[in-house]
Structure 1
């Protein structure tokens, strides 16, 4: 791996270390066999914190049918694909089904003949509903557009293929019963679809936008109040979401270049991979760049209560592309993501959508697994199409058994079972019985990525050893094993992009192995890091078997805030990055409801004027004295004034407080980030 510049690496390392609060409320590992606490965006106080899921959910599409919202997204080469989720409040989601049980168009889909479909498969779906039927239109490389339909979103789903491939399409079922599709990359096309949805109506296709119009790709097509709207994503000149509108389905369309722009919650873009093989060429993090993390590709939805909400994804570095939710403000006939006065910027924490009745906090997936159920949990997906008779949950009850199929490397190993890694930090621990391994077998825990890393047990010349393979360094670290039962662990920090491996022979005491591994976002798999269970054989003989007893996914920070709001406590605030304040910032935190606070100093409250000026005033706390308490992804405090919807910061020249920032920037130089300590 080429070395990043020393200065850039040191800046990123120091930035992350300073950003993560030393007193953040880490969830301890418990004595229970499995951890079940996982990330939830619901703060249980009427607010939510983005992302909605801290694991990858890319290219989202979301609709409302009656009182329910439905959601699907890209799954690429993972099988089954096209998850369908539902929610009443857009925050708490439950899993319903996978629309695509498998997708098999030849050897590449099965990791056969040295071929693969990494970064291909199912992507950019369009979810729609008409006359009691749910439809998902989706792209598959080298094929016509795939269509899945179901009367019940729990399935079964019917599958067929269109006669054409419509790149990144979005479908609109119009009021008169006609169907239209918008699709394309840079040049966006439109056409009417035939009644059977298998083709486009002859002579209806036309180019709506050229590259110079700036509409990009990833269209979402709507009809709102008799007007036609197209929302899309464009990365030229920085990720953003443009929109277009017209009074007629075929236009002419007027373009707004950015209804959402520059919103990355202040996250620093991570490592990026330039090539696809060893020696790997890696671009280090660049805190001065916003392009790699800004919100893009999404759409809007109307609730039963009449509220508009926007959904979009963001490249969250090696954990993948994550889904976020934003209030929508209509201005001059355009649906801007964000709040009045600060359009285009998402608040990371905000009030949940209004619903007829409150929804119980829930998450779509249970991640830890003891393999005691007769079927795999929905969190699991195979890396490519599995070989069905080479794995089992019943041959040895309570275990996942993987038979070791022939492969030259982990990259080519069939029947690798995966689940999406989850942030901001998580640690999978796998209990493995390696007694069934034969010579040249290797089985264990992987970080599926490029480069990847595997921590496994291998048998050579009838002897077992532990082997950590680091593809980035093209090196293997081995430790001899005397027993056949072993626990394998990876501790993954998706804020620093670093992972460490360890192992145990008793399940209690873990020994570190190998060097720190750098996790990288890349476009070969076009996915974030995945935790994988694998078994394969590198020899020419028949392989043995690996029995996985359990996997435990521990998450030290599963809540929307790393630290609870210190209501009724005295705190001291300091600049997390940049200039110190002109005077000490000592306040008592007063609860204003909905995760909001007033900051009192003696008999005075910190107050914000319409011009953003901030000062201590003798006043009863109202909107001018109220701030939405939030955190950046790395845990620093940020405070948004409810009067202006701008953020409090320390002025870089005067050191005075002023609420005039639209939101945190990656390098922290704007003075928006604060660290705080309780003083009583």
Structure 2
């Protein structure tokens, strides 16, 4: 059968030949048997394709596992709460939020914005796995380079509960549930180690360094741990431009090393090299690599590529003209459309949808849903970065618009509420209540230094006439990779005609904050608590 048009010859893994793989641990249903390797597409399937990034939103340090016919993905969330989102897909291309593995960042007062702050801390590269013997999901992550925490659930959508606190910090961990049900963790930076956990996953019973990165490579981290065809693999990233893999007949080594990719052109114009992430197989045995692409100011975007295997058991990325493809044939799976990651939320449910994450832990006594989102002021401050109950939403790339409809009638003097572009350099359009008058304001100049301390609390750049009991605030954000990208702010008094307000805001494209820009809805007090706003609608288009 001919190769589908535009498909590299390597897509067909030795045409006419099938490969059986036995797989276990992270990336697959532990102990499941994979049936076959990549097969040619037929009929209408040959015309289908998918585009990269498969999700143009900020999901960094991704790991993807398969349990039966369902795929699950986790990602870093740093200081956002709840942490470690869980997304589900049936086809590796269409993804939807279903929950979070860490319901609340219960790791110290700084995550409550009390006596400190957790910016660029919290949930770093973590790992998710499924233990078939218990029909239970496990999530593991280290916090503040001090300790590691395990959370478990019988349903990946939750509820998730804390299972254990482990004394060792498993940096950039990858978890493996072996075919004999033993739980292992690969982790480390440059010096790569393996830990064996107790049968209940609550303690460590063995720990051994298994590999030292050659100085010619530099740094390797971001471990993912697999068992494939009886061999153990530790998948490692060289940030931010390479991927390597270790292979051994034992989890304790010795390990051989091979390069998977280095300086491979990526699928996002202006973006970086796809790296980190991990491997996953389909029920039919086709393999894929879900990486992320540095694409600031928006963040790090998941990209998917097919994987083939050499005859001696090493993975190879299927490329298009020597690059990670901007598109590939659709996986040999039935497409399963899901609700889009954009759209409108009217906050009529009793709980927030899992696409929402707070900036640090919220004060749950100061917000509610059901008849819109009611945000009472929870902090007295002049600094948005210190304000609790700021609710964030990822920005859809390459550009998108957020519009929020707010009722400000319950604001009191000194209150500030609105819609922000939130990062270490921020700006907002919103409402200022002073001397009994509510004005619309565009404010920029909210900044942090390299230690994530506030260096600027904002400068008002433009104002509009006093508003009524309903106002629409809008920001349009261009998050394509590169410097000079901008966001523009506007407002409306009827929800139809929008009036620009203030200068365009230039986004910070530096990577060191790690997380990309987010839309953020906020309400805080500068004088006294007691005020509130109601968000009737929030739309990302």
Task: Note whether the superposition's TM-score is higher than 0.5.
Answer: yes
Shift of 1:523: 5.0
Shift of 1:420: 0.8
> d(CA) in 1 for partners of 2:441 and 2:318?
49
For residues 184-242 of structure 1, the C-alpha deviation after alignment (integer angstroms, 9 at most, x for no partner) is 1122112322223233324x42241235273610011111111111111102xx51111
1:537 equivalenced with 2:525 (yes/no): yes
1:137 equivalenced with 2:140 (yes/no): yes
Q: Which residue, 471, 477, 494 being the options, matches 1:492?
A: 477
Q: Which runs of 5+ in 2 are unaligned?
A: 1-44, 448-457
Shift of 1:546: 1.4
Question: Secondary structure in 1 aligned to 2:344?
Answer: coil
> d(CA) in 2 for partners of 1:85 and 1:392?
24
1:352 equivalenced with 2:330 (yes/no): yes
1:549 equivalenced with 2:527 (yes/no): no
Question: Secondary structure in 1 aligned to 2:425?
Answer: coil
Question: Secondary structure in 1 aligned to 2:84?
Answer: strand
Shift of 1:531: 0.6
* 2:174 equivalent in structure 1: 170
The 5 Å alignment of 1:230-241 reads 230-235=234-239, 239-241=241-243
* 2:187 equivalent in structure 1: 183
> d(CA) in 2 for partners of 1:542 and 1:87?
43
For residues 94-150 of structure 1, the C-alpha deviation after alignment (integer angstroms, 9 at most, x for no partner) is 33322221112332111123x110111112121111212211111211442111112
Larger Rg: 1
> d(CA) in 1 for partners of 2:262 and 2:534?
48
Q: Is the 8 A contact 2:210 2:255 kept in 1?
A: no
> d(CA) in 2 for partners of 1:158 and 1:553?
31
For residues 50-107 of structure 1, the C-alpha deviation after alignment (integer angstroms, 9 at most, x for no partner) is 1121111111111112222221111211111222222221112233322221112332
> d(CA) in 2 for partners of 1:252 and 1:162?
26
Describe the shift of the 1:166–1:211 C-alpha distance in structure 2 as closer, same or farther (beyond 3 A): farther
* 1:39 equivalent in structure 2: none
Q: Which residue, 294, 298, 322 being the options, matches 1:315?
A: 294
The 5 Å alignment of 1:565-604 reads none
> d(CA) in 1 for partners of 2:521 and 2:195?
44
Between 146-155 and 479-488, the greater mean CA deviation after superposition: 479-488
Q: Is the 8 A contact 1:443 1:534 kept in 2?
A: yes
* 2:159 equivalent in structure 1: 156
Shift of 1:502: 1.1
* 2:208 equivalent in structure 1: 205
Matched residue pairs, number?
478
1:304 equivalenced with 2:268 (yes/no): no
Q: Is the 8 A contact 1:404 1:441 kept in 2?
A: no
Shift of 1:254: 1.5
Question: Secondary structure in 2 aligned to 1:201?
Answer: strand
1:336 equivalenced with 2:316 (yes/no): yes
Describe the shift of the 1:537–1:472 C-alpha distance in structure 2 as closer, same or farther (beyond 3 A): closer
* 1:69 equivalent in structure 2: 71
> d(CA) in 1 for partners of 2:186 and 2:79?
24
* 2:128 equivalent in structure 1: 127
Shift of 1:182: 1.2
For residues 139-170 of structure 1, the C-alpha deviation after alignment (integer angstroms, 9 at most, x for no partner) is 21144211111222222223121121110111
> d(CA) in 1 for partners of 2:304 and 2:213?
29
Describe the shift of the 1:367–1:118 C-alpha distance in structure 2 as closer, same or farther (beyond 3 A): farther
1:384 equivalenced with 2:357 (yes/no): no
* 2:411 equivalent in structure 1: 437
Q: Which residue, 431, 440, 445 being the options, matches 1:457?
A: 431
Between 462-471 and 424-433, the greater mean CA deviation after superposition: 462-471
Question: Secondary structure in 2 aligned to 1:248?
Answer: coil
1:520 equivalenced with 2:508 (yes/no): yes
Q: Which residue, 435, 438, 462 being the options, matches 1:478?
A: 462
TM-score by length of 1: 0.67
Between 407-416 and 211-220, the greater mean CA deviation after superposition: 211-220
Q: Is the 8 A contact 1:259 1:334 kept in 2?
A: no
> d(CA) in 2 for partners of 1:173 and 1:446?
42
Question: Secondary structure in 2 aligned to 1:548?
Answer: strand
> d(CA) in 2 for partners of 1:483 and 1:342?
56
Question: Secondary structure in 1 aligned to 2:252?
Answer: coil
Q: Is the 8 A contact 1:297 1:312 kept in 2?
A: yes
TM-score by length of 2: 0.83
Question: Secondary structure in 2 aligned to 1:389?
Answer: helix
Question: Secondary structure in 1 aligned to 2:276?
Answer: strand
Question: Secondary structure in 2 aligned to 1:411?
Answer: helix
* 2:61 equivalent in structure 1: 59
Describe the shift of the 1:373–1:156 C-alpha distance in structure 2 as closer, same or farther (beyond 3 A): closer
